[in-house]
Structures are given as C-alpha cells and as structure tokens.
Amino acid sequence: MMKQPNPKEQWNNYSSKYANIWTGGSRTLMRKNEMNFIKKFIFSDTKKLLDVGCGTGRILEEYCGSNNILEIYGIDIAEKMVEICHQKQMTCSKIKAIEVCDISCEEIPYNVSFDLVSAIRVFKYNKNWKQILEKLLKKCSTRGMVVFTIPNSRSINRLANFISTILRKENNYFIFRSNYGELKRICDNANCELLEISSFSKIPDFLYDLSKSEFYGKVVLSVERFLEILFGKILFGKELFVAIKKK
Ligand SMILES: C[S@@+](CC[C@H](N)C(=O)[O-])C[C@H]1O[C@@H](n2cnc3c(N)ncnc32)[C@H](O)[C@@H]1O
C-alpha cells in the first residue's frame, strides 16, 4: 500500500539522519556530479538565490562557496530541518534567511526577485509540483532560472522500489514522477527555455547504500558510466535534473 506523502511529518522524523545519507563512497561522488550540474547555471550575474526544501543545508553550503553570489535564502516545510540549518551556525554572511514554509500552499516569505531558484529532491513529495514550479518562476527575476529534480517515471529504480515494497510489505510513501516529454511540454507552456535535462544515476538506490567505502563507490560509479555509454544520460535515469529559464 502506498501512503499519501506528508512531507512535514516525514522530514521532521528523518531530519537527524538525513545529512548522513550524503557521506561515504558512491553518494559523495554522486553528490559532486549533481552539484556540478547546478553550478553550471550560476553565472557572473547570478546574485540572489533561493533553495526550496533546503533540508539540512547541503546545497546552501555549496552556494556559500561561490564568489559571485551576494544573497542566499532557504525554505523548508520541516521545522526540524530549518532548526538544523540554524544550529549549524552557518557563518556565511551571504545567507540572509532560512525559514519554515510549505511551498505547496504558502507564499515564499521573502520580498526578493531571485536569479536562481533550486528545488532538489523536493517536487516528488508534492502532488501539486507543477503549480509549485509556476510559483517559483513568478519569484524569478527577468531571465531568472529554476533548477529542479523529479524522479523519472521510466527508471529501473521505480521497478526496484515497487518490488521492495511488495517484498518488505512496507507502506511506502507515494512519489510523484515525470519524464522527458512531459517536462518539455511543461516548459513550453510556461514560456520557458529548457536549458538542460540530465540524470546521473540509473542504479537503484539500495545498491548505493550497501557500503560507504571509497572502493565500492568507484565500482558503482564505473557501472553508472558504462550504463550511460549504453543508454545515454536520460533513458532509465533515476532522478531527472532540469534547468529552465524564463524567456
Ligand atoms: C530529500 S530532502 C532534500 C533536501 C535538499 N534539497 C538536498 O538535496 O539535500 C527533501 C526536503 O524537501 C522538503 N520539502 C518537501 N516538501 C516541501 C514543501 N511542500 N515545502 C517546503 N519544503 C518541502 C523536506 O522537508 C526535505 O527537507
């Protein structure tokens, strides 16, 4: 049985464990590839950024290291995630505010036009993710950009998750997905330019988490590279990384 997602409850419960996911072999390498994708869209005139669903501040921290950026903002639905960001005492003076906000039904609490808005691994928990995307575009400056991710409806991971739900008889949360064709249509309808769609992994999640050793990480990444040569970047990709720009 699939439960309706309740991101607030889910992420308040999971907040203390979340940062650990991104440590160790294959995850660290995957994280690097993903951050390189986001950073491609930070230009010399990208001054004000918002990270939606900022979690424990993983992406906010990366933004702090970028020279051109002047102001960084974050929001998250889960109080505990925002608390962790504040406790980390992010000393970076570019971070102007991190607040609790449910983007699915609330307005962004900052009176700012953003040059870049990111929403990484957030839309999949929200049924109205297409409306959220429209909301984010409205808060962008002229020619502003949104970089977001959404799981691919045509991935091996989807099948693996389905089988694991049946075998473990767990009540997994339902996850919202999309695909290349739909994303292209959404982008056209929103009068946006599709800058890039990419994906960095095809191997199911559970294989990433079997070991945190660097050697295992390199093996996983080599298999990923081989699959990419066979199928290209997008086909069977797990999480689609999308960058769009207002026309
Ligand atoms: C998988 S975590 C990703 C965190 C971060 N973006 C990263 O990549 O490390 C998903 C985050 O999205 C947040 N989230 C989900 N739905 C949200 C919503 N409607 N409004 C604001 N935050 C939301 C969750 O609380 C959680 O912190």
| Fold of the 7-246 domain | Rossmann fold (3.40.50)
pLDDT given at position 218: 84
pLDDT given at position 169: 57
Residue labelled with tokens 């056209």:
188
Closest CA to 24 of 172, 186, 195, 218: 218
Of 4, 11, 15, 83, the residue with max ligand 1 atoms within 8 A of its CB, to mutate for a pocket test, comes to: 11
**Tens of pLDDT, residues 217-245:** 888 888 988 999 999 988 889 899 999 99
Q: How many helices (H) and strands (E) does the chain have?
A: 9, 7
Residue 55 Cα: closest atom of ligand 1: 27
Under DSSP, the state recorded for 173 is B
Is residue 192 within 8 A of residue 245, CB to CB? The reply is yes
Residues paired with residue 244 on neighbouring β-strands, in sequence order: 146, 194
Domain boundaries, the chain: 7-246
Structure tokens at 45: 């005139």
Residues paired with residue 124 on neighbouring β-strands, in sequence order: none
3-class SS of residue 59: helix
pLDDT tier for residue 1 given thresholds of 50, 70 and 90: low
Residue 118 Cα: closest atom of ligand 1: 6
Residue 104 Cα: closest atom of ligand 1: 19
Q: Whose CA is nearest to atom 1 of ligand 1?
A: 121
Distance, first Cα to last Cα, the chain: 42
* Predicted TM-score of the model (pTM): 0.90
In whole angstroms, give the CA distance from residue 90 to residue 121: 22
**Tens of pLDDT, residues 79-121:** 999 999 998 866 789 999 999 999 999 999 999 999 999 999 9
In whole angstroms, give the CA distance from residue 222 to residue 224: 5
Q: Is the pLDDT of residue 128 over 90?
A: yes
